Amino acid sequence: MSSSNATGHTLPLDTMAEEKRVRVLFNGEMVADTRQPLLLREEGHPPVYYFPRSDIRSTFLKSSRTVTHCPYKGQADYWHVEVGGRTATDAVWAYEHPLSHGPDLSGYAALRWDAMDGWFEEDEEVFVHPKDPFVRVDTLQSSRHIEIVMDGIVVATTDRPVLLFETGLATRYYLPKLDVRMDLLRPSDTVTRCPYKGEARYCSVMTPRGPAEDVLWYYSHPSPGLSALTSRVCFYQERVDRFTVDGVALASEPGPE
């Protein structure tokens, strides 16, 4: 998504009003709570929520000397967030005098996602960054035949996968646990989060050559709308010896889960 400035040049960013409640938690306090967020989408960056300044609790903000500059948005001033003796440094910024050719962010401020303890869209927790309304995540039941081989051992074979399609990413194949050699799996400490799918946990596969670390993942409690992923696991096709779909080997396509 982009917009044009007064000279006709296309800017690699734009804002859109969201009709949802967004809240931010830090050290046990809701430091921001709005029903009128702006979502900034900027090319090459995750989306960012901007809050009306009146919807950020000013009593938790302490001025910072940090200043940055963006060629599209202008000069950003920063604040620390201090709650109950805990500080998130330079966790809030605002473009108090945005550039005339950029998005009008006057009266708004943003919070650094990873500096906060929790983010909520309505009553659902969201991870990593806001959901981009132009990204789709769909699942489809399938009867394709999947076979996964590691070190000469068939570690999974099924005719009932769920295929996950996510904008810009390779198709992923989620397999029923009953069709996977669960006796070869060992839980890992690795945890990742996705704004669209939720929290993923990982397993290693024990092979004759030793453990293959973090070869597959699963979502114990996938995000609403993706219940088809429950009780299923997904293998990195690029980390196994052979991954075939209807007898055809998939090419390795590294990428996020």
Q: What is the structure's pLDDT at 14?
A: 83
180 belongs to a structural domain: yes
Where a domain ends, among 105, 126, 147? 126
| One domain, residues 210 and 154 | yes
Give domain status of residue 254, yes or no.
no
Q: What is the pLDDT of residue 2?
A: 44
Q: Are residues 141 and 96 in the same domain?
A: no
Domain holding 175, by residue range, is: 137-249
The CA-based dihedral angle spanning residues 221, 222, 225, 231, taken in that order and rounded to the nearest 10 degrees: -80
Where does a domain end: 60, 93, 126? 126
Instruction: Tell me, yes or no, whether 149 and 110 share the same domain.
Output: no
> Which residues make beta-bridge pairs with 165?
138
Both 88 and 170 in one domain: the answer is: no
Looking at the structure, tell me whether residues 54 and 108 fall in a common domain: yes
Look at residue 102 and tell me if it is in a domain: yes
Rounded Cα–Cα distance for residues 128 and 192 (Å): 9
Question: Residue 213's domain is classified under what CATH number?
Answer: 2.170.150.40
Asked if residue 132 belongs to a domain, the reply is no
Distance, CA of 25 to CA of 76 (rounded, Å) = 23
Compute the distance between CA of residue 172 and CA of residue 150 in angstroms, rounded to an integer. 18
The closest alpha carbon to 39, from 132, 114, 122, belongs to 132
Question: How far, in Å, CA of 136 to CA of 134, rounded?
Answer: 6
Same domain, 155 and 230: yes
Residue indicated by tokens 């997904």: 234
Helices (H), 46-190: none
Cβ(193)–Cβ(255) under 8 Å? no
pTM, to two decimals: 0.80
19 and 121 housed in the same domain: yes
Residue 254 has a pLDDT of 53
Q: Which residues pair with 73 in a beta bridge?
A: none
Do both 17 and 112 map to the same domain? yes
* Torsion angle, alpha carbons of 243, 248, 252, 257, to 10: -60
Q: How many domains does the chain have?
A: 2
Whether 141 and 107 share a structural domain: no
Domain endpoint, select from 100, 126, 152: 126
Q: Residue 43 falls within a domain, yes or no?
A: yes
Dist CA 189 CA 78 (whole Å): 35
Residue 256 included in any domain:
no
Shared-domain flag, residues 122 and 204:
no
Average pLDDT along the chain, 257 residues, taken 10 residues at a time: 46 84 98 97 93 98 96 95 98 94 93 97 94 93 98 97 95 97 97 95 95 96 93 95 95 62
CB 137 within 8 A of CB 164: yes
Q: Is residue 131 part of a domain?
A: no
Looking at the structure, do residues 175 and 241 belong to the same domain, yes or no? yes
Residues 97 and 152 reside in one and the same domain: no
